[in-house]
Amino acid sequence: MKKEFFTVVILTVFLFTGCEQKAVDQQASEVKNQEVRVSTVIAQKKSYSPELSFGGTFKPFKEANLSAHMPGRIKKIYYREGSRVQKDALIVTLSDEMTKAVKAELDAVEKDYSRVSDLVEKKIVPAQQLDHLQAQLDATKAKYEMMISNMEIRAPFNGVVAEHMMKEGEEFILLNPGFTPGFSHSSGIIRFMDIDKLLIEIEVGEKDYSGIKKMKTIDVTAEAYPDKILKGQLFSEESLVSTLSRTVKISIAVDNSKHLIKPGMFGRVNIKLPATESVVVPRIAVDRQAGSDIHYVFTEKGGVVTRKGVEIVDDLGDVLAVSGLNGDEKVVTAGKTKLRSGMTVVTVNQ
């Protein structure tokens, strides 16, 4: 009796398992043969000129914080902020109290030198004494000339008085830092700038660097004057590429002889690179794998779809330039939500 019971149980299990497997196989067959309606377009090769856009801040072509060599009281500032100044023009004078003291010392040394010189000629004193006074006279003259130059601060180049970092009557000390954000922080009395030209600095990716190096002119605009296009030229570049961002800093010089743009204004650099050719597909055809930077498309051939990975080369608006395709594939643009590689589809292009 027990033997017959176990036999029935085993047969029941096998029967149930066989039915379940048959249902699974039937379901898999239905999925495999399921036809999804999709729309497709043909990927095409296209020649275009890549355009790059960068933001940056305008900076002076030259900048200097003018100061004295020694501490002193500021006696007179001759130019207001914003004034244009020619090279070597006197901008600031300092008090001359210390200079007067050095001048009195120089006069005394000169008198001693003249008196000893007469005594040497009359052979009353040895010539060695005159040599000693000559050295003292030379040192005092140098000290006096340094004091005179310290009293006057002149323009090192043609430029503009950008800022009075100190006022008349204040005591200048050697450590008097100016902390205007975005500009140099060294000590000084006058912040002086050459803004007849301006520089705008951008960070360029290493793959675009070689193309930008070949550009003769580069379009630059200021946010304050968006309709005015300035023609800039590559001025300088860093010798190293950042190991973190893989970018290189480039400075572009633009003419600003009318002083229309002020240092600190925001600008934009627009670069149109030489024409290149790439495969383009509609933006809607490209999907991104969730949680990653992996992009892909579905291609259709003979009613079967295949997933293919692509890399976005350029964003051209409604279409994307991509790598990973030959340029003659049919890519799916609609009906992608249920697609899996290897599925059978029906194309319903309008």
Find out whether 346 and 34 touch, Cβ atoms under 8 Å: no
How many CB atoms lie under 10 A from the CB of residue 58?
Answer: 22
Give me the percent of the chain exceeding a pLDDT of 90. 37
Say yes or no to pLDDT of 187 above 80: no
Q: Is 89 contained in some domain?
A: no
Backbone angles phi, psi at 239, to 5 degrees: -80, -10
329: left (phi over 0), alpha (psi -120 to 50) or beta: beta
Antiparallel, parallel or unpaired: β 319-323 and 287-288:
unpaired
- Quote the tokens at residue 208: 């675009």
pLDDT of residue 10: 52
- Quote the tokens at residue 26: 């039937």
pLDDT of residue 102: 76
Q: Is 26 contained in some domain?
A: no
Q: Which element (helix H / strand E) includes 344?
A: strand 344-347
pTM over 0.75: no
pLDDT of residue 9: 46
- Quote the tokens at residue 133: 């006074």
Q: Is 239 contained in some domain?
A: yes
Residues 286 and 265 in one domain: no
Nearest alpha-carbon partner for 253 in 230, 273, 226: 230
Nearest alpha-carbon partner for 198 in 243, 150, 135, 256: 256
How far is residue 26 CA from its own chain's centroid?
61
Say yes or no to pLDDT of 92 above 50: yes
Q: Is 103 contained in some domain?
A: yes
Say yes or no to pLDDT of 338 above 80: yes
CA gap 231, 196 in Å, rounded: 14
Query: Which of 255, 272, 289 lies at the terminal end of a domain, its last residue?
Result: 272
* Domain CATH code at residue 201: 2.40.30.170
pLDDT of residue 113: 81
- Quote the tokens at residue 57: 């801040």
Number of domains within the chain: 3
- Quote the tokens at residue 253: 């010089």
Classified as helix, coil or strand, 265 is coil
CA gap 192, 90 in Å, rounded: 13
CA gap 206, 79 in Å, rounded: 45
Residues 303 and 247 in one domain: no
Looking at per-residue confidence, does 27 or 255 come out higher?
Answer: 255
Query: How confident is the model over 96-125, as a mean pLDDT?
Result: 79
pLDDT of residue 138: 86
Query: Which of 272, 290, 309 lies at the terminal end of a domain, its last residue?
Result: 272
Q: What is the mean pLDDT of the chain?
A: 82
Query: Which of 222, 256, 272 lies at the terminal end of a domain, its last residue?
Result: 272
CA gap 60, 173 in Å, rounded: 26
239: left (phi over 0), alpha (psi -120 to 50) or beta: alpha
Q: What is the pLDDT of residues 125-170, one digit of tens each?
A: 777 777 788 888 888 888 777 777 778 899 999 999 999 998 988 8
Nearest alpha-carbon partner for 218 in 54, 61, 57, 60: 54
Nearest alpha-carbon partner for 300 in 331, 341, 272, 269: 331
Query: How confident is the model over 84-103, as a mean pLDDT?
Result: 85
Residues 238 and 267 in one domain: yes
Query: How confident is the model over 293-316, as a mean pLDDT?
Result: 92
pLDDT of residue 124: 78
Q: Is 1 contained in some domain?
A: no
Q: Which element (helix H / strand E) includes 150?
A: helix 127-151
Q: What is the pLDDT of residues 30-78, one digit of tens each?
A: 445 557 889 999 999 999 888 888 899 999 999 999 988 777 889 999 9
Out of 1-10, 93-102, 119-128, 149-158, pick the least confident: 1-10
**Strand partners for 317:** none
Domain range for residue 252?
52-59+195-272
Q: Is 237 contained in some domain?
A: yes
- Quote the tokens at residue 296: 């892909």
**Residue 296's pLDDT band (cuts 50, 70, 90):** very high
**Residue 7's pLDDT band (cuts 50, 70, 90):** low
Contacts of 71 (CB under 8 A, 6+ apart): 171, 172, 173, 174
Say yes or no to pLDDT of 309 above 90: yes
Q: What is the DSSP letter of 275?
A: P
Using CA atoms, how far residue 123 sits from 111, 116, 349, in Å, is: 18, 10, 120
Range list of H helices, 160-266: 206-213
pLDDT of residue 185: 56
Nearest alpha-carbon partner for 259 in 337, 327, 193, 309: 193
CA gap 186, 165 in Å, rounded: 11
Say yes or no to pLDDT of 229 above 60: yes
pLDDT of residue 298: 95
Find out whether 161 and 85 touch, Cβ atoms under 8 Å: yes
* Domain CATH code at residue 337: 2.40.420.20
